[in-house]
Amino acid sequence: MGPLSDECIVESWGRNVRPWTAAVREGQIASRRQVTDQAVVDAVLGCAPRSVLDIGCGEGWLARELAARQIAVTGIDVVEGLVAAAREAGGGEFHAMSYAAIAAGRLALFVDVVVCNFSLLGKESVDGLFRAVPSLLNPQGVFVVQTLHPVVACGGLPYRDGWREGSWAGFGPEFSDPAPWYFRTLESWIELFAASGLRLREVREPLHPSTGKPASVIFMADVPA
C-alpha cells in the first residue's frame, strides 16, 4: 500500500493508545467536551434503543455513557490496546475485530442502533463496513454516524475525495505518527449510504458555541422496508 492507506490508520492508533485514552478520559479535547460527545449521545438516545453496537469504540467512553442508561452495548475496535482499556473500564462487551472482518460477515449480532463516532477514517475499510451495516440492524434499526463536517474539515485544500495527512495539532508531545484519513465530500457520504442500501432519514450539524460553525455532521439512516 502507499504511504496513506487504511493500514496506516490502524498502525497509528496502535501507537497512540495511552495518550488517546488519557485525552478522552481527562476531557482534553475541547470540541468533544463542548459539543460532539453530547451530540452523539443525544442522537443515539433519540432512537430509544435497547441494544447498541459501537463500531470503532476506542477506549469505550460512549459505551459507558449508554450503559449507564440501561442499554446493552457491544463495542468493536481493531486496536487491541483500546479494547483492553475499554474492558478494564467496563460498561459493555468489547471485542477486537477489524472492519474487514465485519464486512466479511464475521460478526453475528443484531442491534437497534449501530453507531460510528469519529471512527470512519479509511477508504476501502469504510466502504466495506457500510455494506455490512444493514445485516447488523434489527427491523426499524438506525445507523448513526458522527464524523468531521466536510465543509469545515476541508480547510484550504480542494473540495474533493482523497487521502489527507493526519495531524495531532493541539495535542501533547506524547502523541506520534498521526493517522492519515480519507476525506469525503458531503455528496460522497450521501452516495455511500444509498449505495449500501441505507436510507438517510436525518442529518444534523452540531454547532460549536465559539465559532458558530459545524463541529461535526451526524447522519442517521435506516434500511427501507
Residues 29-88 pLDDT 10s: 888 999 999 999 999 999 999 999 999 999 999 999 999 999 999 999 999 999 999 999
pLDDT at 69: 96
Task: Classify residue 178: in a domain, yes or no.
Answer: yes
Task: Classify residue 183: in a domain, yes or no.
Answer: yes
Task: Give, rounded to a whole angstrom, the gap between the first and last alpha carbons of the chain.
Answer: 39
Task: Classify residue 59: in a domain, yes or no.
Answer: yes
Give the domain extent around 119.
Answer: 6-222
CA angle 188/59/4 to nearest 5° reads 40
pLDDT at 1: 40
pLDDT at 174: 86
Task: Provide Rg for the chain, Cα atoms.
Answer: 16
Q: Determine the Cα–Cα distance for residues 189 and 10; give it in Å rounded to an integer.
A: 22
Q: What is the number of domains present in the chain?
A: 1
Q: How would residue 168 be classed by pLDDT, with cut points 50, 70 and 90?
A: confident
State the pTM of this model.
0.95
Task: Classify residue 1: in a domain, yes or no.
Answer: no
Average pLDDT over residues 126-148: 97
pLDDT tens figures, 194-206:
999 999 999 999 9
| Higher local confidence (pLDDT), 28 or 219 | 219
Helix (H, G, I), strand (E, B) or coil at 55: strand
Burial track 165-204 (b if 16+ CB lie within 10 A, e otherwise): ebebeeeeeebeebbbbbbbeeeebeebbeebebeeeeeb
Q: Whole-number mean pLDDT of the chain? A: 94
Q: What is the CATH number of the domain that holds 169?
A: 3.40.50.150
